[in-house]
Chains A and B, each alone.
With several copies, the nearest count.
Chain A
Amino acid sequence: MIEVRVNSELKQVDAGKSLAALLADWGFDSGKVAVAINEDFVPRSIYASTLLKAADRVDIVSPVQGG
């Protein structure tokens, strides 16, 4: 298990799991969010092949109102 930050919350995750699997575990619908790791954009197309490293900072965002 490694420790990462997801939307600034500390989480323990299985280092072997893909980002796609983790998003599902965390309850997110991959089609309805966008993701960045350590402030770099991660395209949806590579969620399945993306693994997290210890101390990664993961941002998961979804649409809201804006001005």
Chain B
Amino acid sequence: MSHATDMWTLYGAPFTSRLLIGSALYPSPAIMSEAILASGSEIITVSLRRQAPEEAGGQSVWTHIQKLNKTLLPNTAGCHSVKEAVTLAQMSREMFETDWIKLEVIGDDYNLQPDPIATVEAADKLVKLGFKVFPYCTDDLVICQRLRDAGCEVLMPWGSPIGTGRGLMNPYNLQTIRERLPDIPLIVDAGIGKPSHAVMALELGYDGILLNTAVAQASEPVVMAKAFRHALLAGRSAYLAGAMPERQTASPSTPTLGMPFWHQS
């Protein structure tokens, strides 16, 4: 398989890069732009916030994001209720002129985890309103099934809590979701801290990764962005290549047949 032809689709739109990247927490707008370009990502997450009129006018990161000319994925980050999430999604659709929405309904301010019940309810409402929903959810198979049943055509279980960089806390759950839902695009969202985490997710059969802090808060965001670009290619190829089975006991690679110095007496 050649990477050129290894496309994937999200709500019918084809993409080559398997990295969705956030636009927050970079040292500067210029570094953000450079890092996003280095990452190869084609999809950028954005948000809506109250701003003073002069900022709302556009002297901000937003102008840099627009210049990148990438597909935008607005989020409902910070919403704590179905009502808030649905209204913010509608505002995003008008503002960003896209029916894509990354649905976040926070259920707890300590681990910032999604509220499973409210997320399913909001997803159902948004799908009925014509949105293409990218739900941020936990690694719970049943909640993932409910979201799919509500009409989500992609699911985004977390690896670990937002901003912790702990990677895949529960590979068993993530693998179970993949096995039980073989046909829907699965993206690990939140918790990715290092490229090895992203490679592991794709080795498990996940289709993509959504991250922000791991690149934005690296000492060298642009270099880390490049690292993740390679990581996603590595993980995807590894999945397609079919890794060797893990073995309990050692077995030599070099042939044992013809080993010198051995002489039957």
Contact = CB atoms under 8 A, between A and B. Distances in A.
Interface in B1-54: 22-26, 32, 45-51, 53-54
> At the interface, is chain B mostly helix, strand, loop or mixed?
mixed
Nearest to B210: A67
Interface residues of A, number: 27
B263 A5 contact: yes
Interface of B: 22-26, 32, 45-51, 53-58, 60-62, 65, 74-75, 77, 83-84, 87-88, 90-92, 94-96, 162, 212-213, 252-255, 258, 260-264
B79 to A, nearest CB: 11
Interface of A: 5, 7-8, 26-29, 32-36, 39-41, 43-44, 57, 59-67
24 contacts: A5-B263, A27-B54, A32-B56, A32-B57, A34-B92, A35-B91, A36-B260, A41-B91, A59-B50, A61-B51, A62-B51, A62-B56, A63-B65, A63-B95, A63-B96, A64-B49, A64-B51, A65-B24, A65-B32, A65-B255, A66-B75, A66-B77, A67-B212, A67-B254
Given A65-B24, A65-B32, A67-B253, 19 more contacts: A7-B50, A29-B53, A32-B58, A33-B56, A35-B91, A36-B261, A39-B261, A40-B87, A60-B56, A61-B88, A61-B91, A61-B95, A61-B260, A63-B60, A64-B49, A65-B22, A65-B46, A65-B254, A67-B254
A38 B99 CA distance: 23
A28 B253 contact: no
Contacts of A7: 50, 258, 260
Contact of A61 (B50, B54, B253): B50
